[in-house]
């Protein structure tokens, strides 16, 4: 059963050179069976594509499923990027997953080959390669821009964590003051900052003077507190600093050795944070705009690839001349099985369609012979085919 989260592109042989009659009859059938509403399906017209040789078609039919999956993932990754940028806001996402400013329904149900961008007079292999190059190029650009944005975002988050963490980890530039330290030019003395768990502050006051020798008596002063820690200063002789840090560690007192007073530190850190915020915002805006544009371009390229795949499978299944009737359907998730039943009943006459393009009931032995004589994976295609029509699924964005 095809997915109800995808558009269905369905192709069958054209009858009496009258696609309008076939479209009208199918529409009436879908509506009479309580299926899709009138705006849930639309006629799709194949351009005059170059069929090529049987060998080239079979080769392409073997490659297209793999390429289809690979390129569908490129479109899916762009959607994931948009979701992340928009914080999973579905209403905002719906405003960005557009194709040439059209909704996906309007684009797919009114689909037409873009002759200005994709020449239909090229071989099918050339067309597929051109679509692949476009999608691969889009993917490479998105990877580069996403990497730049993630790097800027990571830097901003790192700076914000330093500012917003507890006193054992956060930046202390806006907590302490120059007056809290002995003269940085002192040859012998140095003031250290120690983060002490609030449950251990009495323990600190009782022990710090005796943790090592050469600790300045009564030099410890509480600077600040938060929900978890209290921050103290203590002045020691430089020659015992390393020993004092080790003793503090043994007693679960954390010396902030990562911090040293700098007259310009507060201003510099504020500037770094502002610059990181501006850079992240700028790259976010650029990536959002690029993702929106590239989604439109990638989705169009993928839709054209799906149509080529549908065309190739139609020629291999129904033969020449390559006159086919095709529609795009947006299935109602609540009626997917009913829709499939309606379609199978409506096109059940195609179960007796032979490869010469003529109707005629094929005996079981003839069917088996056709599969046995078909080369490569085409034989497997015949064996696995379960619908009387060709069906290809096109990616649908769930919003």
Q: What gap in Å lies between CA 296 and CA 290, rounded to an integer?
A: 10
Q: Which stretch of DSSP H or E encloses residue 73? A: helix 54-85
Cis, peptide link before residue 321, omega less than 30° from 0: yes
- Percent of the chain with pLDDT strictly greater than 70: 89
In this prediction, residues 92-111 reach a mean pLDDT of 94
**Residue 323 pLDDT more than 90?**
yes
* CB neighbour list of residue 256: distance below 8 Å, 6 or more residues apart: 168, 172, 192, 193, 194, 195, 231
> What is the pLDDT confidence band of residue 117, given thresholds at 50, 70 and 90?
very high
Structure tokens at 74: 């490129």
Greater model confidence, 386 or 182 = 182
Tokens, residue 111: 């689909």
Integer Cα distance of 139 and 144 in angstroms: 9
Report all structural domains of the chain as residue ranges with CATH numbers, in order of start: 6-151+283-395 (1.20.1460.10), 178-260 (3.30.70.100)
Q: What is the mean pLDDT of residues 153-179?
A: 87
Mean pLDDT of the 326-333 span: 92
Q: Give the per-residue pLDDT at 379.
A: 47
CA distance 65 to 85: 31
Higher-pLDDT residue of 149 and 337 is: 149
The confidence score (pLDDT) of residue 353 equals 64
Cβ contact 271:264 at 8 Å? no
Please determine, for residue 74, whether its predicted confidence score (pLDDT) is greater than 70.
yes
User: What is the rounded distance in angstroms from the CA atom of residue 217 to the CA atom of residue 219?
Assistant: 5
383, pLDDT greater than 60: no
Residue 372 pLDDT: 47
Identity of the highest mean pLDDT range in 38-52, 100-114, 347-361: 100-114
pLDDT of 393 strictly over 90: yes
Count of all residues that appear for the chain in the document: 399
Q: Is the pLDDT of residue 369 over 50?
A: no
The secondary structure of residue 211, as a DSSP letter, is S
Query: Average pLDDT, stretch 316-324?
Result: 92
pLDDT classification of 224: cutoffs 50, 70, 90 = very high
Q: Is 252 helix (H, G, I), strand (E, B) or coil?
A: coil
Alpha helices in 110-240 (DSSP H): 124-164, 201-207
pLDDT tens by residue, 119-147 = 988 999 999 999 999 999 999 999 999 99
State the Cα–Cα distance between residues 183 and 372, nearest whole angstrom: 93
User: If you compute the radius of gyration of the chain from its CA atoms, what whole number of angstroms results?
Assistant: 35
Residue 366 has pLDDT above 50, yes or no: no
Least confident of 203-207, 268-272, 322-326: 268-272
> Are 46 and 326 a contacting pair, CB within 8 Å?
yes
- Contacts of 47-50 with C-beta under 8 Å, sequence gap 24+, read 47/113, 47/115, 47/120, 48/120, 48/121, 49/120, 49/124, 49/127, 49/308, 49/311, 49/322, 50/120, 50/121, 50/122, 50/123, 50/124
DSSP E strands in the chain: the ranges are 6-13, 41-44, 189-197, 221-225, 229-237, 253-255, 324-329, 390-395
Torsion angle in degrees (nearest 10) through CA of 238, 242, 247, 253: 80
Is residue 358 predicted with pLDDT exceeding 80? no
Measuring CA to CA, which residue among 346, 379, 384, 313 is closest to residue 11?
Answer: 313
What single-letter DSSP state applies at residue 363? P
The token duo for 217 is: 């008596």
The confidence band for 357, taking pLDDT boundaries of 50, 70 and 90, is: very low
pLDDT for 334 equals 84
Flag whether pLDDT at 368 surpasses 50. no
- Quote the mean pLDDT of the chain: 88
Q: Has residue 377 got a pLDDT over 50? A: no
Q: What is the pLDDT of residue 231?
A: 97
Q: Give the Cα separation of 266 and 173 in Å (integer).
A: 5
pLDDT of residue 381: 45
pLDDT in tens, 258-279: 888 877 777 787 788 899 999 9
Q: Give yes or no for residue 163 having a pLDDT over 90.
A: no
Structure tokens at 175: 């907590």
| pLDDT value of position 33 | 64
In this prediction, residue 3 carries a pLDDT of: 86
**Structure tokens belonging to residue 20:** 């309008």
- pLDDT tens track for 241-264: 999 999 999 999 999 998 888 777
Q: Does 40 score more than 90 pLDDT? A: no
Please state the pTM of the whole predicted model: 0.77
pLDDT of residue 344: 93
**Pairing of the two strands 6-13 and 41-44:** unpaired
Q: Among candidates 162, 118, 172, which has minimal Cα distance to 306?
A: 118
């Amino acid at each position: 059963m095809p997915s109800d989260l995808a558009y269905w592109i369905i192709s069958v042989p054209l009858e009496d050179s009258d696609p309008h009659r076939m479209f009208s009859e199918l529409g009436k059938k879908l509506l009479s069976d309580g299926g899709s509403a009138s705006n849930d399906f639309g006629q799709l017209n194949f351009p005059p594509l170059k069929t090529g040789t049987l060998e080239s078609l079979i080769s392409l039919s073997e490659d297209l499923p793999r390429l289809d999956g690979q390129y569908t993932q490129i479109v899916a990754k762009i959607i994931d990027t948009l979701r992340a940028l928009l914080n999973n806001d579905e209403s905002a996402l719906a405003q960005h997953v557009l194709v040439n400013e059209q909704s996906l329904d309007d684009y797919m149900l009114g689909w037409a080959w873009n002759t200005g961008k994709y020449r239909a007079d090229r071989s099918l292999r050339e067309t597929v390669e051109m679509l692949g190059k476009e999608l691969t190029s889009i993917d490479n650009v998105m990877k580069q821009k996403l990497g730049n944005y993630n790097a800027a975002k990571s830097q901003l988050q790192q700076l914000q964590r330093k500012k917003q963490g507890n006193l054992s980890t956060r930046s202390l530039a806006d907590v302490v003051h120059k007056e809290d330290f002995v003269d940085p030019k002192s040859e012998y003395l140095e003031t250290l900052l120690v983060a002490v768990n609030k449950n251990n502050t009495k323990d600190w006051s009782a022990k710090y003077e005796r943790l090592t020798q050469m600790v300045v008596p009564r030099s410890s002063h509480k600077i600040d507190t938060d929900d978890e820690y209290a921050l103290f200063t203590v002045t020691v002789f430089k020659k015992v600093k390393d020993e004092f840090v080790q003793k503090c560690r043994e007693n679960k007192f954390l010396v902030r050795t990562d911090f040293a007073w700098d007259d310009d530190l507060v201003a510099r850190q504020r500037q770094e944070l502002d610059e990181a915020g501006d850079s992240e915002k700028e790259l976010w805006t650029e990536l959002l705009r690029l993702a929106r544009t590239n989604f439109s371009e990638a989705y169009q390229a993928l839709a054209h690839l799906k149509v080529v795949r549908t065309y190739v499978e139609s020629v291999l299944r129904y033969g020449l001349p390559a006159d086919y009737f095709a529609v795009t359907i947006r299935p109602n998730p609540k009626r997917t099985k009913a829709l499939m039943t309606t379609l199978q009943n409506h096109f059940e006459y195609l179960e007796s369609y032979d490869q010469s393009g003529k109707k005629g009931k094929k005996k079981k032995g003839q069917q088996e012979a056709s599969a046995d004589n078909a080369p490569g994976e085409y034989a497997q295609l015949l064996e696995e085919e379960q619908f009387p029509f060709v069906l290809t699924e096109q990616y649908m964005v769930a919003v």
